[in-house]
Amino acid sequence: MELKQGLAELRKNEKRNFDQGIDLIVNLKGIDVKKDNVSTIVKIPFNIKDKKVCGFLTKKSNLVKTIFQLDFIKYKDKKLLKNLVKEFDFFIAVASLMPLMKEDEESIKQLLDNISTSVKIRVKEASIKIIAGKESMKDEQILANINALYQGIVSALPNKKENVKNIMIKYTMSKPIKVEMK
């Protein structure tokens, strides 16, 4: 079944009381996940969810939660540091702490746009499961995200498409539907 048909079939599933995620499942073959360290970051065309970003900056930003250098001492307490790490998806810092980072609002906005459309993929088992969209998104957006994720995964594999056993899509609360990618 082609991807577009599979998505149409998926849409026929029972509606839930929440906005379900649409997952892409890529089952792998001929790859030793212990030896072959496959890890990549893929840019998707459409944002799935807003990511929480914290900035270690010298001046306040309205775009991200700002932590000033004076507050660093407070985070020597491991419990507070763990809570901070759990609260945010990404961290950014100024040039003195992280070279090539600018502190003006435009640079931060550009970085946030980059972060919000990036998905980290790390192969830990012979099956990659990753969210590709939400039920509320348009079909074209979901298809574009799935294609970008699939291409990113395949390009990171040692033997490219030879390492792909099969591909499936599913809602959070549905059975997977096998699809074929071109």
Residue 24 confidence (pLDDT): 92
CATH of the domain at 34: 3.30.190.20
Q: How far apart, in Å, are the Cα atoms of 30 and each of 94, 164, 165?
A: 43, 8, 9
Mean pLDDT across 21-45: 85
Sheet containing strand 53-56, edge to edge, reads: 65-67, 53-56, 90-93
The last residue of one of the domains, among 99, 116, 133, is 116
- Give residue 101's pLDDT band: very low, low, confident or very high (50, 70, 90): very low
Residues 80 and 163 in one domain: no
Residues 107 and 122 in one domain: no
Mean pLDDT across 105-121: 76
CA-CA-CA-CA torsion for 133, 22, 27, 140, nearest 10 degrees? -50
DSSP class of residue 91 equals: E
- Contacts of residue 20, defined as CB under 8 A and 6 or more positions apart, other chains included, come to 134, 135, 171, 172, 173, 174
Model pTM? 0.70
Residues 110 and 135 in one domain: no
Number of domains within the chain: 2
- Interatomic CA distance for residues 155 and 123, integer angstroms: 13
- Interatomic CA distance for residues 72 and 63, integer angstroms: 20
Residue 100 confidence (pLDDT): 47
Residues 79 and 158 in one domain: no
Task: Find the domain containing 94 and state its range.
Answer: 53-116
Residue with tokens 């549905």: 174
Residue 98 confidence (pLDDT): 54
The last residue of one of the domains, among 81, 100, 116, is 116
CB 180 within 8 A of CB 2: yes
The last residue of one of the domains, among 70, 99, 116, is 116
